[in-house]
Amino acid sequence: MSSNLASKLRVGTKKAHTMAENVGFVKCFLKGVVEKSSYRKLVGNFYFIYSAMEEEMEKHQNHPIVSKINFPQLNRKQTLEEDLSYYYGFNWREQVKLSPAGEAYVQRIREISATEPELLIAHSYTRYLGDLSGGQILKGIAQTAMNLTDGGTAFYEFAEITDEKEFKAKYRQALDELPIDEATADRIVDEANAAFGMNMKMFQELEGNLIKAIGIMLYNTLTRKRTRGSTELATAE
Ligand code: HEM
C-alpha cells in the first residue's frame, strides 16, 4: 500500500517553496549577490541544524518509520565542517554561533525526536531533497559570486551519490512505501511546511546583514575612488 507521501509533500509544500524562493536573501543569492560574511553565518547555522538532524535520525535507526529514510550518504555534517574551516579558519568552532532562528530550528528537531520522531522525515525531506535539487546551481553561483577557487562549497557535493536524479527517485519511493496512515502523512506535510518556515526565518535574519555588508562595500568603493581620485589626478587615471 502506498502512502503517496512523496506527491503529498511536493503538492503540500509548493506554496511554501515559492515563498522561500522569494525571500530577499534567496533572490539576491540567485542573482549572484552573496557576500562571505552573510554566507558563512548561514553555513554556521546549517552546521548546527544538520548535526542535530543527523544525530537524531541516527538515534532512531531502528524506528519502524524513521529508519526507512535514514540515508547516511546524504549526511552533510562533515562537509559543513570543511566549509566552516575554509571560511573561519582552524578555530572555527570558537567563532561559529547559532542565530535565534537557527536555535529555534535546532530545538524543534530535538523536540520532535523525543516526542514524535516520525516527523524527522519532514526535516530530512525539506533539506536534503532541496539540496539535491538546486545544489549544483547554487554551488556555481556561490563560486562565482564569492570568487571561490579553492574550497567553500563542500556542502553542495555529495561524494557518495553519482546520479542525483536517480537518488531522488529512490528517496521518493522510500517515502511512498512508509508504513503510515493518512493522518501521519498529513502531520509530516504540516511539519515540512513548518520546516520551510524555519528556513525562511533564517534567510530573513540574514537579509539585514547582507544589506549592511553591501552598504559598507559600496561606501568603501566610493570613498576609495574619491581618495584615489584626489591623490592620483596628476597621473590622469
Ligand atoms: C534558491 C531558490 C530555490 C530554487 C531555484 C529551487 C529550485 C528547485 C527545483 C527546480 C526543484 C525541482 C527539482 C525536481 O523536480 O526534481 C526543487 C525542489 C525542491 N526544493 Fe527547491 N529551490 C529553491 C529553494 C529551496 C528552499 C529554500 C528549500 C527548502 C529549505 C527548497 C526545498 C526543495 C525541496 C524539498 C524540493 C523537492 C520537491 C519535491 O520534488 O518534492 N528549495 N527546488
CATH of the domain at 154: 1.20.910.10
**H or E stretch covering 117:** none
Distance 237 CA to ligand 1 centre (A): 47
CA pseudo-torsion sign 107, 37, 82, 32: positive
For ligand 1, whether the C-beta of 142 sits within 6 Å is: no
Looking from the CA of residue 30, the nearest atom of ligand 1 is 1
Q: How many whole angstroms from 219 Cα to the centroid of ligand 1?
A: 35
Q: 63: left (phi > 0), else alpha (psi -120 to 50), else beta?
A: beta
**Does any ligand 1 atom lie closer than 6 A to the CB of residue 28?**
no
Whether 201 lines ligand 1, by a CB cut-off of 6 Å, is no
Q: Please indicate whether residue 98, judged by its CB atom, sits closer than 6 Å to ligand 1.
A: no
- Our answer on whether the CB atom of 12 is closer than 6 Å to any ligand 1 atom is no
pTM, to two decimals: 0.90
For ligand 1, the distance from its centroid to the CA atom of residue 222, given in whole angstroms, is 38
- The residue type found at 214 is I
Whether residue 10 has its Cβ less than 6 Å from ligand 1:
yes
Whole-number Å distance, alpha carbon 29 to ligand 1 midpoint, is 14
Domain containing residue 180 = 5-236
Is the minimum distance from the CB of 141 to ligand 1 under 6 angstroms? Answer: no
In order along its 237 residues, the chain shows pLDDT tens digits of 689 999 999 999 999 999 999 999 999 999 999 989 999 999 999 999 999 999 999 999 999 999 999 999 999 999 999 999 999 999 999 999 999 999 999 999 999 999 999 999 999 999 999 999 988 899 999 999 999 999 999 999 999 999 999 999 999 999 999 999 999 999 999 999 999 999 999 999 998 776 776 777 777 788 876 655 543 333 232
> Exposure string (b/e) for 50-86, b if CB count within 10 Å is 16 or more?
bbbbbebbeebeebebbeebbbeebbbbebbbebbbb
pLDDT of the residue at 222 = 81
Residue bearing cell 597621473 = 235
Number of domains composing the chain? 1
Closest residue by Cα to atom 34, ligand 1, is 130
